[in-house]
Amino acid sequence: MNSGLSTSSYRRAAVSLAGAAAVLLTVGACGTDSTSTGSSSSLTPTTTAAPTTEPAVAGGVTEQQSQQLCTDLSEQLQEWRIQGPTLGRGGLNIVVQTWAAQSGVINLQVVQNRAIVDDITIATCPDVREEAMRSLDIPDLASGLVGF
C-alpha cells in the first residue's frame, strides 16, 4: 500500500514539474514581447515592481520574496529526506519553478543565473539551504536545478 502512495506522489510531482515548465515557457515568451509600435499596450506584461522601500536580498529579490522561498523549501525538507535525492531533486525544481513563476522578474533572473537561489538562501536561510543540500545530496542548490 505504501508503494502506491510513492507512485502517486511521484506522478503528481512529474505532472507538477511539467506544468511548472509550461508556465516558465509562457512567462519567458511574455518577457520577450516587443512593444515598439506603441499600440500594443495591452500586450505589455503587467509585472508589479517591488516597493523601493523594501531592501533587496540578492539580484533585486525582496526580503518578502526571499522569505517565501525559504518557507517553501523548509516545508519540503521532510519529504525530501523520505523520498531521497532522486525524487527530491524533482521536488526542488518544482518548488523553485513555482516560486520563480509567481513573478516574471524573478523567473527571468533564475533562468539567467540559477546561483541566485543559493545567494538568496545563504543570505536568508542558510540552515534550510544546508539541510536541503544534504537531503538532496548536491553541492549547492543551483546544481540541483534543471530546466532553467
> pLDDT value at position 56?
61
Q: Considering the domain boundaries, does residue 45 fall inside one? A: no
3-class SS of residue 57: strand
Q: How many domains does the chain have?
A: 1
The span from the CA of 101 to the CA of 103, in Å, is 5
Q: Considering the domain boundaries, does residue 135 fall inside one? A: yes
Q: What percent of the chain has pLDDT over 90?
A: 49
Between 135 and 146, whose confidence is greater? 135
Q: Which domain holds residue 62?
A: 2-32+56-144
Is the pLDDT confidence value at 139 over 80?
A: yes
The span from the CA of 81 to the CA of 64, in Å, is 26
Q: Considering the domain boundaries, does residue 39 fall inside one? A: no
Cell 495591452 belongs to residue: 42
Nearest-10 Cα torsion for 138, 28, 58, 113:
40
Q: Quick one: cell of 37?
A: 509600435
Cell 523567473 belongs to residue: 107
Q: Is 84 left (phi over 0), alpha (psi -120 to 50) or beta?
A: left
Q: Considering the domain boundaries, does residue 37 fall inside one? A: no
Q: Quick one: cell of 53?
A: 522601500
